[in-house]
Amino acid sequence: MASQFGPLEIACDAPPYPIVEACWMLGFQSAPDVRWCRLSTFLHGPEEGSGVFSFDTWKGLLGMGRARDRACSCGEPLPILEKCTFTFLSGSKIDYLLGQCRRCRTIFWDEP
């Protein structure tokens, strides 16, 4: 019966799981259990993900765009994203921009 439906496509809008799991050390609440949204995808949709530093993104964050550009899905203003550097046991490092909604706890992220 399962073969009638074919494979399921799962879309995940979170960074790699080791990053999600490590966010508790940065003070994020329930990081593995809350919604994660890449900011560029949230603001522009998956087809227009032009990055957190695009002109349209900053217009929205500075109050010059539509209301959706400035608010989380729950209506709370978007959090300020802070640069966080993660260091792996191998010594390699990766930077992410991270912020959490105060009301619904959604974590917004992007790459710098």
Q: What is the pLDDT of residues 33-67, one digit of tens each?
A: 999 999 998 988 765 445 555 555 555 555 555 44
In a domain, 42, yes or no: yes
Q: Where in 1-112 does DSSP place strands (E)?
A: 36-38, 82-87, 93-100, 107-110
Give the tokens for residue 16.
């790699």
In a domain, 100, yes or no: yes
- The C-alpha atoms of residue 11 and residue 82 are separated, in whole angstroms, by 25
Contact status, residue 52 vs residue 46, Cβ threshold 8 Å:
no
- The C-alpha atoms of residue 105 and residue 30 are separated, in whole angstroms, by 8
pTM of the predicted model over 0.85: no
In a domain, 40, yes or no: yes
In a domain, 56, yes or no: yes
In a domain, 70, yes or no: yes
In a domain, 67, yes or no: yes
Number of domains in the chain: 1
Q: Beginning with the edge strand found earlier in the chain, give each strand of the sheet holding 82-87 in spatial order.
A: 36-38, 107-110, 93-100, 82-87
In a domain, 3, yes or no: no
State residue 101's pLDDT score: 97
Stated length of the chain: 112
For residue 34, give its domain range: 12-110
In a domain, 52, yes or no: yes
Please, which pLDDT band fits residue 12 given cuts at 50, 70 and 90? confident
